[in-house]
Chains A and B, each alone.
Chain A
Amino acid sequence: MQEPLFGSVDEVVERLAGAGYLASTAVATTVFLADRLGKPLLVEGPAGVGKTELARALASATGSELVRLQCYEGIDESRALYEWNHAKQLLRITAARDEQWQETRDHVFSEEFLLPRPLLTAIRNPDPTVLLIDETDKSDVEMEGLLLEVLGDFQVTVPELGTITAARRPFVLLTSNATRELSEALKRRCLFLHLDFPTPELERDIVTLQVPGLDATLADSLVCVVGALRELDLRKAPSIAESIDWARTLLALGADRLDEQVVQSSLGVILKYQADHRRAAAELRLDRLLDPASP
């Protein structure tokens, strides 16, 4: 058993905060458990709640190297695990024409011609590593089978080289937007964390941390408006990143308080659909500005 990264849940909160990530109890507890139990952590949630950011903060808080595997439709072993460098192998064979076949064969299938992809890189790394497998739901079902093998035993078999076992277990973080149900087998091997939009208090802290110049009362009302917008059943709810963008915009505009005029003119920063815009304006009573006759 290797040395755990964290001593207690509070330490997780503290060190993540040091890396610029404010973690809720849920996040801190699951991260702590994932580290202690040596299990991968599956983070699921809507876009823009800081799933990828968590991995980045973890890496910088623990001084680990971040290895990222971005999943997409059609990703396969040669993109995720390893590949032989064919061009270089051919070059080597043509360069040594008069060599014996036996010798050449042994040579071209050696470390030198292996191109490690993220999974193999993470497993072979002797230093602490955070392996981020991003948007797992975008990959095909076959890819999940491969992940099962790698995440189950933390070892990879390359037929020509033999089995490579992890020198040091990486901290594995999988993210998913839940566009597809991941297989039960994969979920069973992971700890599950559903990451939702943060509580108003936490979001205010995040915004003030990221945009230091922002006035405290302005931050309060900003978080309040964003929270109200998220409850509205919009096509695209504003994410944390968008609240931060909005805070920056307000700062640039020099607004000192949030009134109808300011919200109306800068709403485009957080809402990206026309229908959402109309809806928000109606619900937040911004339209009264345009029509002063109404009560």
Chain B
Amino acid sequence: MTTEALPGRLVDFVGALRERGIPVGPGETVDAAAAVDVLGLADRDQLREALASTVLRRSGQRGVFDAVFDLYFPVAVGSVESAGEPPSDVFELRDALVAALAEGDEARLRALAASGVEAFGRYGNAGNGGSGGAGDTGASGSGSRLSGWSAYQTLGEVRPEALLARVLAAMRTARPEDGPLGEALAERQARSRIAGFRERVQAEARRRTAELRGRERIASHAVAPQTELVTFTSATSEQFTAMRRTVQPLSRKLATRLSSRRKKARRGQIDLRRTLRRSLGTGGVPMRPALRNRRPGRPELVVLCDMSGSVAGFAQFTLLLTQALSDQFSKIRSFAFVGLTDEITHLVSAGRDEPEGLAARILSQARVTRWGMSSDYGESLGSFVEGWEDVLGPRTSVLVLGDGRTNFGDPNLEALRRIADRARHVYWLNPEAERFWGTGDSAALRYAELVPMHECRNIRQLSQLVTELLPT
């Protein structure tokens, strides 16, 4: 990279970050350029940190930043000069991988990821033989040119997860005297190293493909979005794990926001009696007015959520979040439904210590369906009103979580109307994009006529809604 090209590269880089939802202003870009000017380009790690410190403003953005950085400021161009001989076939590669994983040799792992992608990752050119066993001869036909490098294909061939037992055995021979504690530690370590290897392969494949097809194109779809912006309905299980990690810090943030709003609301009305009483000390002149202490209203919250199919992840996240916010409410009761409604408050509060299997436990321990796993809104709302109408009162806020897809059944608007009449507020949070409401079997628009419905597709929208909706 020449020095003249640098400003252009920096602007492109910042543009890519903006597209991924990281707001970077021109001021930050200027700072970044100044930082590069001071540091120079000699050390890539320093460059990375310098850019991170000038353009990032929030800690959750680092993952996206790193991926985009690797595309715009790549380690190298072309194939990597790996340490030692590149492995000739997949067995040799896996043997080398076992040894490197057991030792935790970072440099060797990086080299293996690179040579793995080199050997098994190419797709779109079956004619260009000699490279391991990339078994896609049928797909690409007659000698078409190389169209990319696939991490998926590489990992499918190398299958690092399947190496766990071998890695553990290797680690055990290295340290034979370990007890169960040592084994537990070794297993964790091996798992995290394997996950690290996967990430390296993905980064390497992105880098190679970007060289081939232009980095703008790759940046726009190969870099995973920030956790905050992942849509609930399409999140993978890893993304859900990442989301669950944000529950605690997010709830803390929301709680401070709520309580500071409450404090602000306390200013206002003058308490006449106490002001007069106080004025006696200053000869009857009310120098310091006393304000009336307003008792902060702690509302009751009822969460009613659809636990079927793709909506379940969203419901589970929201349940954990409301649970973490429990000290902001006088009482929280949670209900789940698929075809029937059942109370799950005790399951959710037990889920605080062990949030992983919450959805599974709800489905197995609560009576949420008569048959099948497709949601029946009519029956569910009806059974909620029948069985638990008394939990609703003038201090209750109700959150309904669901996509309102009734599978062409009766939406039972009457039941929702009764809920809305009895409770103080009812809000419906819908994880579907607003433009899909009312399409197909969705009764979302009909429900939206009765209660306010909000689109809630990712954590950012959810946390915004929680602070806006919850009454002080």
Contacts and interface: CB of A to CB of B under 8 A. Distances in A.
Interface of A: 9, 25-26, 29-30, 32-33, 36-37, 39, 44-45, 140, 178-181, 184, 187-188, 191-194, 221, 224-225, 228, 231, 233, 235, 258-260, 263, 275, 278-279, 283-286, 288
B188 interface: yes
Nearest to B252: A179
Listed residue (A29, A178, A181, A193) with the most chain B CB atoms within 10 angstroms of its CB: A29
B53 A193 contact: yes
A275 B39 CA distance: 47
A30 B39 CA distance: 11
A179 B256 contact: yes
A5 B124 CA distance: 55
A258 B179 CA distance: 10
A224 B53 contact: no
Nearest to A180: B256
Given A275-B353, A285-B181, A187 B38 contact: no
Contacts of A259: 179, 181
A15 to B, nearest CB: 17
Interface string B238-272: 00000011001100110011001000000000000
Given A33-B38, A44-B59, A188 B27 contact: yes
B39 A9 contact: yes
24 contacts: A9-B39, A25-B49, A26-B53, A29-B39, A29-B49, A29-B53, A30-B49, A30-B53, A33-B39, A36-B38, A45-B59, A179-B256, A184-B57, A188-B28, A192-B52, A193-B53, A194-B62, A228-B185, A228-B189, A233-B355, A235-B248, A283-B184, A285-B183, A286-B181
Contacts of B50: 29-30, 33
Contact of B185 (A25, A26, A188, A224): A224
B53 A285 contact: no
Contacts of A193: 53
B187 to A, nearest CB: 10
Nearest to A31: B53
B60 to A, nearest CB: 9
Contacts of A180: 253, 256-257, 260
A141 to B, nearest CB: 8
B57 A192 contact: yes
B192 interface: yes
B465 interface: no
B192 A231 contact: yes
Contacts of B53: 26, 29-30, 33, 191-193
Nearest to A278: B353
A228 B191 CA distance: 11
B34 interface: yes
A33 B28 CA distance: 14
Contact of B46 (A25, A228, A235, A285): A25
B31 interface: yes
A9 B34 contact: no
Listed residue (A30, A33, A37) with the most chain B CB atoms within 10 angstroms of its CB: A33
Contacts of A285: 180-181, 183-184
Contacts of A178: 59, 249, 253
A179 B56 contact: no
B353 A260 contact: no
Contacts of B183: 285
Nearest to B192: A231
Contacts of A29: 39, 45-46, 49-50, 53
A37 B38 contact: yes
Nearest to A189: B27
Contacts of B354: 279
Nearest to B352: A275
A73 B180 CA distance: 47
Interface in B69-107: none
B57 A225 contact: no
B415 to A, nearest CB: 38
A192 B24 CA distance: 13
A272 B54 CA distance: 36
Contacts of A286: 181
A40 B58 CA distance: 16
B49 A284 contact: no
B224 interface: no
Contacts of A260: 179-181
A187 B38 CA distance: 21
Nearest to B31: A37
B310 to A, nearest CB: 24
Contacts of B249: 178
Contacts of A45: 59
B38 A194 contact: no
A45 B257 CA distance: 19
Interface string B33-52: 01100110001011001101
Contact of B253 (A9, A181, A231): A181
A33 B35 contact: yes
Listed residue (A179, A235, A283) with the most chain B CB atoms within 10 angstroms of its CB: A179
B25 interface: yes
B62 A224 contact: no
Given A29-B49, A33-B53, A233 B244 contact: yes
